[in-house]
Amino acid sequence: MRNRLLDAYRSIQEGTYYLAEDDQVIYVVALNEPFRSMVLPLVASARVFGKYYGDIIVFTDKLLEYELDKRVIVNTSILTEWKQDFTKMLVCQRQRIFVTKEYDFSKYSKIIYSDVDIVFINPLKDVFAQIPENGVVYAEEQRDRNNVHFGKMITKYNKIVSGKLGANSGFIGFDKGSFATFMGEWGDLLAHEQVMSDPSMLDQPVFNYVITFPGNTYNLKTFPDLMVEYPDFYKRKKGKFLNRISAEKNYVWHFINNVGNPNTVAEMYRLMDQLLLSKEANG
Protein backbone atom coordinates (compact mmCIF):
# COMPACT_ATOMS: atom_id res chain seq x y z
CA MET A 1 0.00 0.00 0.00
CA ARG A 2 1.29 3.45 -0.91
CA ASN A 3 2.50 5.58 1.99
CA ARG A 4 1.97 9.17 0.89
CA LEU A 5 3.67 10.66 3.93
CA LEU A 6 6.92 8.77 3.35
CA ASP A 7 6.75 9.47 -0.38
CA ALA A 8 6.50 13.19 0.38
CA TYR A 9 9.31 12.95 2.94
CA ARG A 10 11.66 11.16 0.55
CA SER A 11 10.94 13.73 -2.16
CA ILE A 12 12.34 16.65 -0.13
CA GLN A 13 15.45 17.91 -1.88
CA GLU A 14 18.69 17.44 0.05
CA GLY A 15 19.59 21.09 -0.37
CA THR A 16 16.51 22.10 1.62
CA TYR A 17 18.19 20.96 4.83
CA TYR A 18 21.08 23.39 4.30
CA LEU A 19 18.64 26.32 4.52
CA ALA A 20 17.38 25.44 8.00
CA GLU A 21 18.05 27.43 11.15
CA ASP A 22 21.08 26.05 12.97
CA ASP A 23 20.10 27.29 16.43
CA GLN A 24 16.80 25.39 16.70
CA VAL A 25 16.27 21.76 17.65
CA ILE A 26 13.57 19.23 18.42
CA TYR A 27 14.49 16.28 20.59
CA VAL A 28 12.68 13.03 21.32
CA VAL A 29 13.31 9.90 23.38
CA ALA A 30 12.54 6.47 21.87
CA LEU A 31 13.40 3.59 24.15
CA ASN A 32 12.24 0.14 23.00
CA GLU A 33 9.28 -0.63 20.76
CA PRO A 34 6.83 0.63 19.71
CA PHE A 35 8.56 3.96 20.32
CA ARG A 36 11.46 3.35 17.94
CA SER A 37 8.96 2.72 15.13
CA MET A 38 7.26 6.04 15.86
CA VAL A 39 10.38 8.09 15.13
CA LEU A 40 9.92 7.82 11.36
CA PRO A 41 6.34 9.22 11.20
CA LEU A 42 7.32 11.95 13.68
CA VAL A 43 10.32 13.04 11.60
CA ALA A 44 8.43 12.74 8.33
CA SER A 45 5.53 14.83 9.66
CA ALA A 46 7.96 17.47 10.98
CA ARG A 47 9.48 17.79 7.50
CA VAL A 48 6.32 17.49 5.38
CA PHE A 49 3.66 19.27 7.47
CA GLY A 50 5.86 21.11 9.97
CA LYS A 51 8.11 22.51 7.23
CA TYR A 52 10.90 22.15 9.76
CA TYR A 53 14.26 21.15 8.28
CA GLY A 54 16.57 21.75 11.24
CA ASP A 55 18.12 19.32 13.70
CA ILE A 56 16.10 16.56 15.31
CA ILE A 57 17.90 14.62 18.03
CA VAL A 58 16.67 11.08 18.70
CA PHE A 59 17.79 9.49 21.96
CA THR A 60 17.35 5.73 21.66
CA ASP A 61 18.90 2.49 22.86
CA LYS A 62 19.80 0.97 19.50
CA LEU A 63 20.28 2.00 15.90
CA LEU A 64 17.06 2.55 13.97
CA GLU A 65 16.17 0.12 11.21
CA TYR A 66 15.35 2.75 8.62
CA GLU A 67 17.09 5.67 6.96
CA LEU A 68 16.48 9.25 8.04
CA ASP A 69 17.70 12.55 6.61
CA LYS A 70 21.03 14.20 7.33
CA ARG A 71 19.67 16.60 9.98
CA VAL A 72 18.50 13.78 12.26
CA ILE A 73 21.06 13.01 15.00
CA VAL A 74 20.65 9.54 16.51
CA ASN A 75 22.26 9.14 19.94
CA THR A 76 22.38 5.58 21.30
CA SER A 77 25.06 5.93 23.96
CA ILE A 78 23.13 7.66 26.77
CA LEU A 79 20.10 5.37 26.96
CA THR A 80 22.15 2.22 26.37
CA GLU A 81 24.26 3.10 29.41
CA TRP A 82 21.23 4.04 31.50
CA LYS A 83 19.44 0.76 30.85
CA GLN A 84 21.82 -0.62 33.48
CA ASP A 85 20.63 1.96 36.04
CA PHE A 86 17.15 1.12 37.26
CA THR A 87 16.68 4.32 39.25
CA LYS A 88 17.25 6.52 36.20
CA MET A 89 15.06 4.39 33.96
CA LEU A 90 12.29 3.85 36.51
CA VAL A 91 9.65 5.24 34.19
CA CYS A 92 10.07 6.26 30.58
CA GLN A 93 8.58 9.70 31.20
CA ARG A 94 11.65 10.77 33.19
CA GLN A 95 14.10 10.03 30.38
CA ARG A 96 13.38 13.34 28.63
CA ILE A 97 14.87 15.15 31.63
CA PHE A 98 17.83 12.91 32.35
CA VAL A 99 19.20 13.07 28.79
CA THR A 100 19.51 16.85 29.09
CA LYS A 101 22.07 16.38 31.85
CA GLU A 102 24.30 14.28 29.59
CA TYR A 103 23.93 15.88 26.16
CA ASP A 104 25.32 19.29 25.19
CA PHE A 105 22.48 21.50 23.91
CA SER A 106 24.51 24.72 24.22
CA LYS A 107 24.59 25.42 20.45
CA TYR A 108 20.81 25.78 20.35
CA SER A 109 18.94 28.93 21.35
CA LYS A 110 15.47 27.39 21.06
CA ILE A 111 14.63 23.83 22.00
CA ILE A 112 11.43 21.83 21.67
CA TYR A 113 10.88 18.59 23.50
CA SER A 114 8.32 16.31 21.83
CA ASP A 115 6.97 12.94 22.86
CA VAL A 116 7.70 10.41 20.15
CA ASP A 117 4.01 9.46 19.84
CA ILE A 118 3.29 12.88 18.33
CA VAL A 119 2.95 13.94 14.71
CA PHE A 120 3.10 17.52 13.46
CA ILE A 121 0.31 18.83 11.26
CA ASN A 122 1.12 22.50 10.65
CA PRO A 123 4.28 24.60 10.12
CA LEU A 124 6.44 24.82 13.24
CA LYS A 125 7.98 28.20 12.38
CA ASP A 126 5.31 29.97 14.43
CA VAL A 127 5.88 27.62 17.36
CA PHE A 128 9.58 28.47 17.60
CA ALA A 129 8.76 32.18 17.20
CA GLN A 130 6.50 32.07 20.26
CA ILE A 131 9.22 30.88 22.65
CA PRO A 132 10.02 33.92 24.83
CA GLU A 133 13.31 34.92 26.42
CA ASN A 134 13.94 32.89 29.56
CA GLY A 135 10.70 31.25 28.61
CA VAL A 136 8.80 28.00 28.70
CA VAL A 137 5.93 27.66 26.27
CA TYR A 138 3.59 24.70 26.49
CA ALA A 139 0.42 23.28 25.03
CA GLU A 140 -2.85 23.04 26.88
CA GLU A 141 -5.08 20.02 26.63
CA GLN A 142 -8.80 19.56 26.82
CA ARG A 143 -8.86 18.51 30.46
CA ASP A 144 -9.13 20.61 33.60
CA ARG A 145 -5.83 20.66 35.46
CA ASN A 146 -7.57 19.46 38.59
CA ASN A 147 -7.74 16.08 36.87
CA VAL A 148 -3.94 16.08 36.66
CA HIS A 149 -3.40 16.00 40.38
CA PHE A 150 -0.11 16.17 42.26
CA GLY A 151 -1.12 13.63 44.86
CA LYS A 152 -0.61 14.04 48.59
CA MET A 153 2.90 15.54 48.45
CA ILE A 154 1.64 19.10 47.89
CA THR A 155 -1.80 19.31 49.49
CA LYS A 156 -2.47 22.86 48.22
CA TYR A 157 -1.93 21.93 44.57
CA ASN A 158 -5.58 21.67 43.58
CA LYS A 159 -6.33 25.07 45.13
CA ILE A 160 -3.49 26.65 43.13
CA VAL A 161 -4.67 25.32 39.77
CA SER A 162 -8.42 25.26 40.24
CA GLY A 163 -10.29 26.09 37.06
CA LYS A 164 -7.25 26.07 34.78
CA LEU A 165 -6.73 23.85 31.77
CA GLY A 166 -4.09 21.18 32.14
CA ALA A 167 -0.66 21.61 30.55
CA ASN A 168 0.55 18.83 28.30
CA SER A 169 4.11 17.76 29.08
CA GLY A 170 4.59 16.03 25.74
CA PHE A 171 5.21 19.19 23.69
CA ILE A 172 7.23 21.98 25.33
CA GLY A 173 9.36 24.81 23.99
CA PHE A 174 12.32 26.37 25.83
CA ASP A 175 14.80 29.08 25.13
CA LYS A 176 18.45 28.63 26.00
CA GLY A 177 18.17 30.61 29.24
CA SER A 178 15.36 28.54 30.74
CA PHE A 179 16.14 25.05 29.46
CA ALA A 180 18.73 23.75 31.90
CA THR A 181 17.25 25.38 35.01
CA PHE A 182 13.68 24.30 34.31
CA MET A 183 14.70 20.75 33.46
CA GLY A 184 16.84 20.67 36.59
CA GLU A 185 13.93 21.75 38.79
CA TRP A 186 11.55 19.33 37.09
CA GLY A 187 14.08 16.53 37.42
CA ASP A 188 14.78 17.26 41.09
CA LEU A 189 11.08 16.97 41.89
CA LEU A 190 10.77 13.74 39.92
CA ALA A 191 13.74 12.34 41.84
CA HIS A 192 12.19 13.22 45.20
CA GLU A 193 11.75 10.16 47.39
CA GLN A 194 8.00 10.68 47.79
CA VAL A 195 7.52 11.12 44.05
CA MET A 196 9.67 8.12 43.14
CA SER A 197 7.63 5.92 45.45
CA ASP A 198 4.27 7.04 44.05
CA PRO A 199 3.39 5.35 40.71
CA SER A 200 0.93 8.16 39.89
CA MET A 201 3.64 10.81 40.05
CA LEU A 202 4.81 10.76 36.48
CA ASP A 203 6.04 13.65 34.36
CA GLN A 204 2.80 15.47 33.64
CA PRO A 205 1.42 16.16 37.14
CA VAL A 206 4.87 17.29 38.28
CA PHE A 207 5.23 19.52 35.20
CA ASN A 208 1.84 21.08 36.00
CA TYR A 209 3.00 21.73 39.53
CA VAL A 210 6.25 23.42 38.45
CA ILE A 211 4.54 25.86 36.07
CA THR A 212 1.74 26.78 38.47
CA PHE A 213 3.69 27.08 41.70
CA PRO A 214 3.59 30.72 42.91
CA GLY A 215 6.91 32.51 42.77
CA ASN A 216 8.54 30.70 39.85
CA THR A 217 10.63 33.07 37.75
CA TYR A 218 10.04 31.60 34.30
CA ASN A 219 8.43 33.56 31.52
CA LEU A 220 5.53 31.18 30.98
CA LYS A 221 3.06 31.22 28.14
CA THR A 222 0.80 28.86 26.27
CA PHE A 223 0.85 28.38 22.53
CA PRO A 224 -1.98 30.55 21.17
CA ASP A 225 -4.65 28.46 19.47
CA LEU A 226 -2.75 25.28 20.27
CA MET A 227 -4.60 22.52 22.02
CA VAL A 228 -3.06 19.07 22.12
CA GLU A 229 -5.50 16.64 20.54
CA TYR A 230 -5.86 12.99 21.50
CA PRO A 231 -7.16 11.22 18.39
CA ASP A 232 -9.85 8.72 19.20
CA PHE A 233 -10.12 5.64 16.97
CA TYR A 234 -13.91 5.78 16.93
CA LYS A 235 -14.02 9.41 15.87
CA ARG A 236 -11.43 8.80 13.16
CA LYS A 237 -13.46 5.93 11.72
CA LYS A 238 -16.52 8.15 11.69
CA GLY A 239 -14.53 10.76 9.76
CA LYS A 240 -15.52 13.57 12.11
CA PHE A 241 -12.14 14.03 13.77
CA LEU A 242 -10.12 14.65 10.59
CA ASN A 243 -12.67 17.07 9.15
CA ARG A 244 -12.75 19.09 12.35
CA ILE A 245 -9.05 19.16 13.15
CA SER A 246 -7.92 19.94 9.59
CA ALA A 247 -9.69 23.28 9.76
CA GLU A 248 -8.10 24.33 13.03
CA LYS A 249 -4.77 25.99 13.80
CA ASN A 250 -3.33 23.08 15.74
CA TYR A 251 0.22 21.84 15.49
CA VAL A 252 0.27 18.35 16.95
CA TRP A 253 -1.70 15.15 17.27
CA HIS A 254 -0.82 13.10 20.32
CA PHE A 255 -1.44 9.34 20.29
CA ILE A 256 -0.74 8.76 23.97
CA ASN A 257 -4.04 7.01 24.69
CA ASN A 258 -3.29 4.34 22.10
CA VAL A 259 0.48 4.06 22.42
CA GLY A 260 0.31 0.40 23.47
CA ASN A 261 -1.86 -0.59 20.55
CA PRO A 262 0.13 -2.56 17.94
CA ASN A 263 -1.80 -0.74 15.21
CA THR A 264 -0.88 2.75 16.43
CA VAL A 265 1.96 3.33 13.94
CA ALA A 266 -0.25 2.22 11.06
CA GLU A 267 -2.96 4.57 12.35
CA MET A 268 -0.47 7.43 12.45
CA TYR A 269 0.40 6.84 8.80
CA ARG A 270 -3.26 6.47 7.84
CA LEU A 271 -4.17 9.83 9.34
CA MET A 272 -1.17 11.51 7.75
CA ASP A 273 -2.13 10.12 4.34
CA GLN A 274 -5.68 11.41 4.78
CA LEU A 275 -4.36 14.79 5.85
CA LEU A 276 -2.17 14.99 2.76
CA LEU A 277 -5.15 14.20 0.54
CA SER A 278 -7.23 16.79 2.41
CA LYS A 279 -4.59 19.51 2.01
CA GLU A 280 -4.13 18.66 -1.67
CA ALA A 281 -7.88 18.85 -2.26
CA ASN A 282 -8.06 22.22 -0.52
CA GLY A 283 -5.07 23.60 -2.37
CA distances from 197 to 78, 85, 152, 200 (A): 24, 17, 12, 9
Residue 272 pLDDT > 80, yes or no?
yes
Average pLDDT value for the chain: 75
Q: Which residue did the predictor score with more confidence, 135 or 91? A: 135
Are 74 and 29 spatial neighbours (Cβ–Cβ below 8 Å)? no
User: Could you tell me which of 225, 119, 206 has the C-alpha nearest to residue 167?
Assistant: 206
User: Could you tell me which of 116, 84, 208 has the C-alpha nearest to residue 153?
Assistant: 208
Please report the pLDDT score of residue 162 as a whole number. Answer: 46
148-202 pLDDT, tens digit each: 444 444 434 444 444 455 677 888 899 998 898 888 888 877 777 666 666 666 6
Largest separation between any pair of C-alpha atoms in the chain: 54
Question: Is the omega angle on the peptide bond into residue 34 within 30 degrees of 0, that is, cis?
Answer: yes
Q: Which residues contact 181 (CB under 8 A, 6 or more apart)?
A: none
Please report the pLDDT score of residue 248 as a whole number. Answer: 52
Distance CA 45, CA 111 (A): 18
CATH classification at residue 252: 3.90.550.10
The tally of domains found in the chain comes to 1
221-233 pLDDT, tens digit each: 676 545 445 554 4
Please report the pLDDT score of residue 203 as a whole number. Answer: 74
CA-based R_g, the chain, Å: 18
| CA end-to-end span of the chain | 24
Kindly report the pTM of this predicted structure: 0.83
Chain CA centroid to CA 271, Å: 18
112: containing domain: 4-281
238-266 pLDDT, tens digit each: 344 444 444 455 667 777 655 666 677 88
